[in-house]
Structure 1
């Protein structure tokens, strides 16, 4: 079996994440949601399984499409009959939501395709692309609704009030609340940004529909016809804002967003829990879509330890990260000299200086190379990415300050410092 096929098999067959399953069940699944999940998702507790994850995504998208189409049909019909542009606008928003759900469904289908020779890291980023497409569609709808609402303000028409209209809007609010819960719970269970965005969109729809309901009642009470158009502008503005935020959220992982701090902390704590591990640095996380993340980092172990034993520990960590967390890890072994009083003193001194000068920076890979006339102190200094490029030259200033501090204490010591960006900062209070 080819390595890429074996890797895909390990990811597909990994165990369920107990934390996510417990959270999913503990939150209190609505009876109807639980019934849908038990009926249409086989092995629904195995949320880390690729096939189960796809089944969850398909269920959420299909249910959302059906609900949004029903809501859109009801609102547009009532809006046309009563002449309410706000209700029609809200119905068009539901129609755009249905289109977005279809795009998300396609994204789940394409993202579930296994890795191949042309795409060895899989196709999971299709989900991010689907989310971006959904966000752009929301922006387009928002612009169109804004233009229509402005026209309604300039040229108001009478809106025929009916209790049917009120009933449809109240029903819409209840359905959207349920849809938000459905997508949020499933999105949390399978770690899907697309479904979490859909949940947020449904929650926003509750707000916009409530605004339309308020406009309908206020128009009836005051007789001021422009309230409908003004509320339509408010709804359109809210849609535009939500679309812009969704564009930002979905484009970030495509551009290479910083890894989640909880994930970084989890990886560090997990690695440090193995026997003989002294430290972790140079952590990098590459996100190729949900369920397809590559991790690399340097692992510090005592240079006096048996090399084969250290290698075995590293193999265990790589295997456990894959099976338990779905992370494909590559770990570099860094032997660390321990028990050298001067090296320990120098390292402690540098750490104190860094904490005072730049608390977000850290040092590692310290080596001391003595010579006949001077001693070279060689180490890497990882800093926030901004330190590498900002106009204040904070990175360069930090390097110079560390060199001066060392030479002030040990005149015959010269620092050779490699300044590098910290791609996944791990800091604790």
Structure 2
């Protein structure tokens, strides 16, 4: 079914890096979800009203909130597709994240309202009428939500959309909550305890609140500047180092301006004795490769590395071995030495995990002291000048 819908409504579906295709996928998913959730809401609301089940009515309201969320997501996809302008030179793709945050807040509000209603039902239970129609409707809703979860996850993974992946998780959670409502209806019928319906309604409300809190956390994270995807980091590093003459990369930064809109910068290490014009031409080729084939706007800084000095090579290897023991997640780069009449300065940058640079964390300063002492013990006239910096993206 998913592939059929994609074939019918998406032009050039394989070109997912194109912003227009990304938006088309998002629009398709939102329209399908709006339709399904409205049908589910109508079915559950009618059954819940006829048979007096607050749990079923609560679950119906959850579907209505899902439809509202899908509308907000649709608006986010539409606004995110707007091209860059003078006021927003990096585009508008972050509207998707803002839409996701709005959806999360809506879920929290509905969860609170459902909790209040269910709590009153626990205090003042009313009779619940059970029928085969109730079971049929709820089973149908579970089946539809299972399909929606699979559908949104497939589309979300295909276009790397956190919004749709979250929608898939929400649909999966609805399967759990609707199953709980079905169990409550059956338990109430056989036990005769009407309060079970209200208790299960409370459970559904708590589940919605819990999901909403998780969604708020997930949607705020990219807005604040979450760590980049390790797979993307690995891909960028492997692609850059696959070019002849590239020794390695460091200081990799990935700025996320919304799905499909990332700016990348990093330093590339090449032999210091290589031809400057040839190195510049190679860097241009790498930048163009990322832009054309991956839709990544990449800026590369050239770092010359001395490869024909045995002492620098020995120093580099010695420091890396020490770091592997003292701070396995740290790394060094831009190593150079400046000999003098009384001592030799060993100058390099040391990239460490960001939390090590916290004001009350003394691990970074301790690391500097230990590296200086290790080098001084090995070479008495050597003094390390170390610049600490955070790791923005961990490369291998």
TM-score normalised by the chain length of structure 1: 0.91
Q: 1:363 aligns with which of 332, 344, 348?
A: 332
1:48 aligned to 2:49? no
TM-fit CA distance, 1:392:
3.8
1:233 aligned to 2:202? yes
1:351 aligned to 2:320? yes
1:399 aligned to 2:359? no
TM-score normalised by the chain length of structure 2: 0.99
Q: 1:176 aligns with which of 129, 142, 145?
A: 145
1:191 aligned to 2:160? yes
TM-fit CA distance, 1:303:
0.7
DSSP-derived class of the 1:277 partner: coil
- Deviations 1:228-273 (Å, cap 9, x if unpaired)? 0111111111111111111111100000011111111111111110
Q: 2:382 aligns with which of 406, 409, 413?
A: 413
- Deviations 1:329-368 (Å, cap 9, x if unpaired)? 0000001111211111111111111111000100000011
Structure 1 runs of 4+ aligned residues shifted over 4 Å read none
Q: Could you say which residue in structure 2 is the equivalent of 1:35?
A: 4
1:289 aligned to 2:258? yes
Distance 2:344 2:215 in 1: 54
Q: 2:232 aligns with which of 255, 263, 270?
A: 263
1:310 aligned to 2:279? yes
DSSP-derived class of the 2:31 partner: helix
- Deviations 1:369-420 (Å, cap 9, x if unpaired)? 1011111100000000011015341000000110111111111111110011
Distance 2:3 2:383 in 1: 66
DSSP-derived class of the 2:16 partner: coil
Q: 1:148 aligns with which of 110, 117, 122?
A: 117
Q: 2:72 aligns with which of 103, 110, 113?
A: 103
1:333 aligned to 2:298? no
Q: Could you say which residue in structure 2 is the equivalent of 1:14?
A: none
Q: 2:92 aligns with which of 97, 105, 123?
A: 123
Distance 2:386 2:92 in 1: 40
DSSP-derived class of the 1:284 partner: strand
DSSP-derived class of the 2:346 partner: strand
TM-fit CA distance, 1:33:
2.1
Q: Could you say which residue in structure 2 is the equivalent of 1:66?
A: 35
Distance 1:121 1:97 in 2: 30
Distance 2:306 2:24 in 1: 51
Q: Could you say which residue in structure 2 is the equivalent of 1:203?
A: 172
Listed as ranges, the gaps of 5+ residues in structure 1 are: 1-31
CA-based RMSD of the aligned residues comes to 0.9
Distance 2:176 2:195 in 1: 20
- Deviations 1:309-332 (Å, cap 9, x if unpaired)? 111111111111112222110000
